[in-house]
């Protein structure tokens, strides 16, 4: 029986598509391996949102390590990266995010020496399909594909295409299947959860979807994926109200990207800094303990020193719990790639300054949790015989002991770092 190994890069949407591909391959009679050295074929599910470098590095490494092995590249394949991959090996097959459901066909052809390139765009729902979960207690549920933003720096729109929301009933059924299989956490994922159903009449239905999901009569926690400010403001009050429900992780991922309105306009982000702050302050007023996660890009083309300082000031004002910090990198085919680029040294310097400031903020915020007692759900194996659990605000808590994935335990927080909380079991 041929063994297929899947290597995943990028976001939770990519992770879910890898789980789905694994399920489809198993249903087709293949064995899903968990070691690239023992596989007959390696499938690399790539992410190109932050550029081509990471994907190309992984592909080169695999071909150098096992040149005789067949290789399939899946996922977010841009027009610009495909020729670069072919330069590494013309025998590599492609199956993009729109065609991952045909992975078994690509594998079969690859084993027979045939090269396939399935790179056209299709709009099909990606829920309620066979899968093999990487983590048995976490069910990842995609709710839409594509994006209704067209940011000048991002290749997502070029890769994923227009917004396509999945039926509410199919999503709810997918959630039920995950819970039936023993999952304790459900992650809703997409390029922008706030845009759910916007393409079908212009009105967001994410709150209605959340109501449908939390009504499932099972004990679980629900994490909502990233939503852009522009799609959050019209439903702000209703969204805050649904976040009060005990099944909801008090966790909000809302990207800022820049603390300067002129840069936001150049990015084509469709909101102002003041809009972002309004959302954060409204949530914190009604759900004070909420974990705020945001994204910042430093060194966007033409960003001045003062505009960077505006971003730094915004982070100091907002004090997010999580910061996904990126140095700007040009993506081929995007508008920003044609703008005046800043030097690499400038990008590195601004990134270091921002990261240093955030670490101080994160440490200060996490330290406030010291002394807290409550329940956490163990959802990850940590390093050095440790486990990682999440409290009701999705804060990572590192503990040691004889635990298993899915255990719910009482802990007391006795220490904190900029990245996590440290605790002990507390009866």
Per-residue pLDDT reduced to its tens digit, 370-409: 999 999 999 999 998 999 999 999 999 999 999 999 999 9
Domain with CATH 3.40.50.12160 in the chain: 3-118
Give Cα 10 to chain centroid, integer Å: 7
If you ran DSSP here, which 8-state letter would residue 248 be given?
A: B
Q: Please tell me whether residue 94 adopts helix, strand or coil conformation.
A: strand
Q: Average pLDDT, stretch 92-115?
A: 91
CA distance 279 to 61: 43
Q: Tell me where in the chain the CATH 2.40.50.140 domain(s) lie.
A: 373-425
Out of 70-84, 281-295, 354-368, 409-423, least confident range: 70-84
Rounded mean pLDDT of 42-64? 86
**Buried/exposed 321-338: b ≥16 CB within 10 Å, e otherwise:** bbbeebbbbebeebbbbe
Torsion angle of alpha carbons 357, 290, 251, 312, nearest 10°?
A: -20
Number of H helices and E strands in the chain, helices first, is 13, 19
- Quick one: fold of 373-425? OB fold (Dihydrolipoamide Acetyltransferase, E2P) (2.40.50)
**Mean pLDDT throughout 85-104?**
91
* Per-residue exposure over 394-418, b if at least 16 CB sit within 10 Å of its own CB, e if not: bbbbbbeeebebbbebebebeebee
The DSSP line for 156-197 is HHHHH-S-EEPPHHHHHHHHHHHHHTT-SEEEEESS-GGGTT
Burial 125-145 (b: 16+ CB within 10 A, else e): bbbbbebbbebebbbbbbbbb
* pLDDT tens-digit readout, 111-136: 899 999 998 887 777 887 888 998 99
Q: Are 391 and 375 in contact (CB under 8 A)?
A: yes
- Phi/psi of residue 413, nearest 5 degrees: -80, 125
pLDDT of 223 over the 90 cut? yes
Residue 259: pLDDT over 90:
yes
Crossing angle of helices 206-214 and 236-243, rounded to 10°: 20
pLDDT at residue 341 in the model: 96
pLDDT at 48: 81
Please state, in angstroms and rounded to a whole number, the distance separating the CA atoms of residues 72 and 118. 11
pLDDT > 90? residue 100: no
pLDDT at residue 414, rounded to an integer:
97
Provide mean pLDDT across the span 24-31: 91
Identify the band that residue 1 occupies on the pLDDT scale cut at 50, 70 and 90: confident
What pLDDT score does 207 carry?
A: 97
Q: What is the CATH number of domain 138-367?
A: 3.80.30.20
Q: Measured in whole angstroms, how far is the alpha carbon of residue 287 from the centre of its chain?
A: 23
186: exposed, middle or buried (Cβ count in 10 Å: 0-12, 13-18, 19+): buried
- The residue among 104, 111, 82, 94 whose CA lies nearest residue 20 is 104
Q: Is the pLDDT of residue 149 over 90?
A: no
pLDDT score for 350? 98
Query: Exposed (0-12), middle (13-18) or buried (19+): which is 211, by Cβ within 10 Å?
Result: middle
Q: What is the pLDDT of residues 296-315, one digit of tens each?
A: 999 999 999 999 999 999 99
Q: Mind listing the pLDDT tens digit for each residue in 335-363?
A: 999 999 999 999 999 999 999 999 999 99
Specify the pLDDT at position 53. 84
Terminal-residue alpha carbon distance, the chain:
49
Choose among 43, 266, 75: nearest CA to 159: 75
- Rounded to whole angstroms, the Cα distance separating 123 from 142 reads 13
Residues of the chain with CATH 3.80.30.20: 138-367
Separation CA 355–CA 29 (nearest Å):
47
| Residue 43 contacts residue 74 (beta carbons within 8 Å) | yes
CA 220 to chain centre: 20
Nearest partner of 123 among 162, 157, 149, judged by Cα: 162
Class in CATH terms, 3-118: alpha beta
């Amino acid at each position: 029986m041929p063994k297929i190994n899947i290597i995943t890069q990028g976001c939770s949407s990519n992770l879910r598509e890898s789980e789905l591909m694994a399920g489809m391959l198993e249903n087709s009679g293949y064995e899903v391996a968990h070691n690239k050295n023992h596989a007959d074929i390696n499938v690399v599910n790539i992410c190109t949102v932050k550029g081509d470098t990471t994907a190309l590095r992984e592909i080169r490494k695999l071909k150098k390590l096992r040149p005789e092995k067949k290789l399939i590249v899946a996922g977010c394949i841009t027009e610009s990266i495909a020729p670069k991959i072919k330069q590494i090996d013309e025998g590599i097959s492609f199956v993009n995010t729109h065609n991952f459901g045909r992975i078994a066909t690509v594998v079969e052809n690859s084993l027979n020496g045939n090269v396939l390139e399935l790179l056209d765009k299709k709009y099909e729902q990606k829920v309620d399909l066979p899968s093999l979960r990487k983590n048995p207690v976490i069910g990842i549920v995609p709710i839409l594909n594509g994006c209704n933003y067209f940011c000048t720096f991002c290749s997502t729109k070029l890769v994923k295409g227009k917004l396509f929301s999945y039926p509410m009933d199919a999503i709810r059924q997918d959630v039920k299947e995950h819970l039936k299989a023993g999952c304790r956490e459900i992650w809703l994922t997409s390029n922008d959860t706030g845009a759910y159903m916007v393409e079908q009449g212009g009105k967001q239905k994410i709150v209605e979807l959340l109501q449908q999901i939390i009504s499932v009569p099972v004990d679980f926690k629900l994490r909502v994926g990233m939503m852009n400010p522009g799609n959050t403001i019209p439903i702000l009050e209703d969204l805050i109200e649904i976040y009060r429900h005990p099944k909801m992780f008090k966790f909000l991922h809302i990207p800022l990207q820049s603390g300067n309105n002129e840069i936001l306009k150049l990015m084509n982000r469709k909101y102002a800094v003041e809009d972002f702050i309004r959302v954060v302050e409204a949530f914190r007023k009604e759900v004070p303990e909420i974990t705020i996660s945001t994204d910042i890009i430093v060194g966007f083309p033409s960003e001045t020193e003062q505009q960077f300082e505006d971003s730094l000031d915004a982070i100091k004002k907002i004090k997010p719990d999580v910061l996904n910090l990126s140095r700007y990198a040009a993506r081929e085919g995007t508008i920003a790639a044609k703008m005046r680029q800043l030097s690499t040294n400038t990008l590195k310097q601004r990134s270091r300054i921002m990261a240093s400031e955030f670490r101080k903020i994160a440490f200060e915020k996490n330290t406030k949790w010291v002394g807290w007692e409550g329940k956490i759900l163990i959802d990850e194996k940590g390093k050095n015989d440790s486990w990682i659990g999440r409290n009701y605000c999705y804060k990572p808590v590192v503990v040691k002991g004889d635990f298993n994935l899915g255990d719910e335990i009482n802990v007391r927080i006795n220490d904190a770092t900029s990245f996590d909380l440290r605790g002990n079991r507390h009866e």
